[in-house]
Amino acid sequence: MCGICGELRLDGGRPDLGAISRMTARLDRRGPDHEGSYSDGPLAFGHRRLAIIDLSERANQPMVDQELGLALVFNGTIYNYPALRETLKQKGYHFYSDGDSEVILKAWHAWGDRCVEQLQGMFAFAIWDQGKKQLFMARDRMGIKPFYYSHSDSQFRFASNVQALLASGGVDISLDAVALHNQFTLHAVVPAPRTILQGVRKLAPGHSLLLDADGKRTERRYWQLSATRPARPRSDGEWLESIHDALRLAVHKRNNISDVPVGVLLSGGLDSSLLVALLAESGVSDLRTFSVGFEDHPDEKGSEFEYSDQVVERYGTTHHKYLIPNEEVLKRLPEAVDAMAEPMFGQDAVAFYLLSEQVSKQIKVVQSGQGADEVFGGYFWYSRMMAEQQGSPVERFARHYFDRDHEEYLRMVTAEYRGDDYTSQHIAELLGEPGADSFMDAVLRMDVTTLIVDDPVKRVDNMTMAWGLEARVPFLDQQLVELAAQCPPELKLREGGKYPLKAMARGILPDSVIDRPKGYFPMPALKYVRGDFLHFMRDILESAACRQRGLYSRAYVDLLLSAPEMHHTRLVGSKLWHLALLEYWLQRNVDGR
C-alpha cells in the first residue's frame, strides 16, 4: 500500500520536478516508510511507501529495472504474486527483491498490457518503458485502489488522491455539472471517469491506459463481470459449499500474503464477525480485533459493542475497543474531510478515520468486511426492488436508492447547474448492459462494479490510508465476486439477504450476531443533526464562500436548516449534511480555506 504520482510531458518538454515533489508530499500519510522519485526524459515518478511485503530497501519505489528498461510505481497488494513469480522465473526472468512489485515489472515485460489479467489483488500502478517511451497504467477490477489524473495537450499527471493533483498546479477546478448530479443522487457516487472537478478524472475499475509520449492514448477494459447462470445448474447446497470455499480462500490469502501481522476491523455485524471466525477456523491463534463506537442518540444506538463483544468472547481475540465522544467527532471532522479524495456523504467516514488512527498505533494491515452487502444482497432495498414490478428498470431502482429525484435536484441548485437527468441516463446504460439474466442480477452487478467503488470502498481506502493502515477486503476477492454474480439472486436474498453468509455462519458465530438487524456503522450525530453539529453546518452553508460559489438555491438551504431532522434521503442520510459536506470539502481542498 502506497501513494503514487507522476507526470508525462506530451509536448517534448521536461517534467516539472517541483510538481512531483509537491504531489509526493501530499501523499506522505499513505506511505510513511519511504519516499522516492525517478525521472527519465519526459517522465517523472514520485512514490511514498507503506512497507508490507519485503520490508527491505530492495522493495523501495520507484522500482527501476535497468536490464529491462522499465520503471514502476505501484499501490496495492498482489495476492498471487508467489505463483506468478515462479511462472516468470521459468520464463528466464531474474528477481532482485522478494515482494510483489517486481513481479508486476516482469509481468509487463512478458505479457504487455495483458499482464493485468494475470494479477489477482488490489492495485493501481504505472510503468514507464524507457525504450518505447510509453506509460502503461492500470487499476484493479473492483476499484479498491484509486487512480486520479489530469490530462492536457502538454502533459498528463496522475496521483493516488485529488489533493496531490491540485498541489501540482494548473488543474481546472470548475465544477462538473454531470458529476454534481451524480453526487447528490447516488449517495456521493460519481462513476468513473468523472469527478466533481472538471480537470480531474479517474481511471475506471478493470481498465488499463496506455499513453505514448506523443500523446496517443489507448484505454482498454480488461475485465467485465458476468451475472448469468452457469451452464450446469447447481443445487443450493452446491452454491453454499462453493461460496464457503471461495471466501475461506480469500480470507486465507489476505492473512498470509504479508510480512507484518494482520488484524480485523470488527464492527459487530455478520460480515466482519465471519472474517474472525474463518481466520480462527484456519488456525490463526493471535487474532487482533478492533471496534469503535459513538454516543447514543434517542433514536439510535451509537455502538455495536454488544455484538462484537460476543465474537471476541467466543474466539478469545486480543481486542481493542474505542468509544468516541461527540465533541471529539466534531473536533476531528475537518481532518477527516481533508483525507477524502472526493467528497463523501457516508456518515461512517469519520468513524473509519478515528478508528484507523487508533488501529495504526497497533498494526499496519487489517481485514475489513466491505463488499459483503453488495456481493450477497444484504441491504433492505434489494428485496423491495425485486418484489416491485412496476416501471422501467431505472424507475424501480431510483424509487429505493436515489437520494433525490431530478425535480428536487433542480430546486436544490441554482440555474447555472441545472441540466438533464444525467444520473438516470447513466444508470439506464449500466442496467442495460448485456450479461445479466434478470433485473436483480443487473442491479447487484452495477452495485459491485460501480456504486460500491465510490462509496464504501473508497471511503475505507481513504480513511485507513490517512493513517498508513492497509485495509484488505476479502468479500471483493475476484474469484468470490465472479462466483457470487452467477448465483441466483433469490438464494442470495433469502432470509432478508446474505443467505449464503448466514448459512455459513451457523454454528461458528452466535445466532444473535447472525440474526440481528442490519447495522450501518452508526454515527447518530451526523444523521439526526442538532446542537453543535447543526451550528457547524449552518456556519458552512451561510458562509460568504458558500454564497459566492452560488451552487445552492438559498430557499432550499433555508428549508433544510429550518428542520434538518425532517429531511432524510431514502437511505436515511441527512440532506443537510450532504450540502454542508460538499461545500466544506470544496472550501478546504479547492479554495484552500
Phi first, then psi: what are they for 351, rounded to 5°?
A: -60, -50
Contact (CB, 8 A) for 476 and 368: no
Contact (CB, 8 A) for 305 and 293: yes
Instruction: Please state, in angstroms and rounded to a whole number, the distance separating the CA atoms of residues 439 and 436.
Output: 8
Q: Strand runs (DSSP E) across 130-186, as ranges?
A: 134-139, 148-151, 155-159
Closest C-alpha to 562, from 552, 570, 554: 554
Instruction: Please state, in angstroms and rounded to a whole number, the distance separating the CA atoms of residues 373 and 366.
Output: 19
Instruction: Please state, in angstroms and rounded to a whole number, the distance separating the CA atoms of residues 346 and 411.
Output: 23
- Nearest-5° angle of CA 351, CA 592, CA 183? 55
Joined grid coordinates for residue 335? 481532518
Contact (CB, 8 A) for 97 and 71: no
Joined grid coordinates for residue 202? 479517474
CA distances from 255 to 260, 262, 287, 462 (A): 10, 6, 11, 21
Annotated catalytic residue 2 = yes
Catalytic site residue from 2, 5, 487, 546: 2
Joined grid coordinates for residue 218? 489507448
Instruction: Please state, in angstroms and rounded to a whole number, the distance separating the CA atoms of residues 126 and 147.
Output: 10
578: three-class secondary structure by DSSP: helix
Q: Which residues on adjacent β-strands are paired with residue 9?
A: 155
Contact (CB, 8 A) for 556 and 412: yes
What HEC string does 11-66 produce? CCCCCCHHHHHHHHHCCHHHCECEEEEEEECCEEEEEEECCCCCCCHHHCCCEEEC
Phi first, then psi: what are they for 135, rounded to 5°?
A: -115, 120
Instruction: Please state, in angstroms and rounded to a whole number, the distance separating the CA atoms of residues 289 and 578.
Output: 32
Tracing cell 461460496 back to the chain, one arrives at: 243
Q: What is the DSSP string of 203-235?
A: PPTTEEEEEETTS-EEEEE-----BS--SS---
Q: What is the DSSP string of 542-570?
A: TSHHHHHHT-B-HHHHHHHHH-GGG-B-T
Tracing cell 477546478 back to the chain, one arrives at: 173
Instruction: Please state, in angstroms and rounded to a whole number, the distance separating the CA atoms of residues 412 and 278.
Output: 47
Contact (CB, 8 A) for 492 and 261: no
Catalytic residue ranges: 2
